[in-house]
Amino acid sequence: MKSIFYASSTGNTEQVAKTIKKNLEGFELVDIASSGISKMNECDSIIIGASTWGEGDLQDDWEDCFEELKEMDFSGKTVALFGLGDQDNYYDEFVNALGTLYEVVKNNGANIIGFTSTDGYEFEESTAVVDSQFVGLVIDEDNQSELTKQRVEDWCNQISNKL
């Protein structure tokens, strides 16, 4: 089973999740606000999407599921991540929620794919940067919405044969 798990407070993360689904075959959308995350146990291929709130915090629905996520076994699962953030106003904790989720799935055995370049972004700090790359797709709808469609398409092309 292949699923995209997301949570969205303003609708931006949901919209990106839907765009990803249009670019990849065989994925179902799971809004964790209504469905939770237990279905991850049934999936071989997982895409996780979250936005960063405040000073690097997880979006509320991810915060509610975080303890359950930390207990999941991702061994044998392929996971790709995407995150939304605001690089202008939160330049020193840009997409930190993405980094938080990455650490959990990595520590719990996931095969993580979909790292992307930091080129084209202007920020000071991010826990979502490992070895000079973002740990997944990064979208800034607040400041670079005109780049979203192409960034999603490029990322989906990059990961499609690995899921």
pLDDT in tens, 86-101: 999 999 999 999 999 9
pLDDT score for 104:
98
pLDDT score for 132:
97
pLDDT score for 48:
98
pLDDT in tens, 34-76: 999 999 999 999 999 999 998 899 999 999 999 999 999 999 9
- What stretches of 20-144 adopt beta strand conformation (E)? 28-31, 45-53, 57-58, 78-84, 111-113, 116-117, 129-130, 133-134, 137-139
pLDDT score for 37:
98
Mean residue pLDDT of the chain comes to 97
pLDDT score for 73:
98
In this prediction, residues 3-21 reach a mean pLDDT of 97
pLDDT in tens, 126-145: 999 999 999 999 999 999 99
> Mapping DSSP to helix (H, G, I), strand (E, B) and coil, where does residue 92 land?
coil
Fold entry, domain 2-162: Rossmann fold (3.40.50)
- What stretches of 33-158 adopt beta strand conformation (E)? 45-53, 57-58, 78-84, 111-113, 116-117, 129-130, 133-134, 137-139
- Domains of the chain by residue range: 2-162
The answer to whether the predicted template modeling score (pTM) of the entire model surpasses 0.95 is yes
